[in-house]
Amino acid sequence: MTLRRNIALVAGTITTLAAFSAGMALLVFGGFFADNEVIIYASIALGPVAMASVMAGYAVWWLVLFFLSLAFTDGKPAAGPR
């Protein structure tokens, strides 16, 4: 993989993990539920929190890759019809 893709992959991974950790921490330590029901509510919300964090990570990956490809070209001419 190229350096641009590696940078975008690392940025997307960090965003995904941070969003998931923050979402689960808000669920568990939010203090809205009784002590014995926190595990039930957190396990029910695990899927949507994971989905939202993956979507955020993918968006960051795509945007970083897009902006890096605009800023740094490969230096090769574009292959067009001959």
- Over residues 51-80, mean pLDDT: 84
pLDDT, position 32: 60
pLDDT tens for 2-44 read: 888 899 999 999 999 999 999 888 877 775 655 666 667 777 8
Domain boundaries of the chain, sorted by first residue: 3-71
pLDDT, position 24: 84
pLDDT tens for 46-61 read: 888 899 999 999 999 9
Q: How far apart are CA 1 and CA 40, in angstroms?
A: 41
Contact residues for 58 (Cβ-Cβ < 8 A; gap 6+): 12
Nearest to 55 by CA among 28, 20, 79: 20
pLDDT, position 26: 81
- DSSP designation for 66: H
Cα–Cα distances in Å, from 34 out to 37, 40, 44, 49, 79?
A: 5, 11, 15, 20, 63
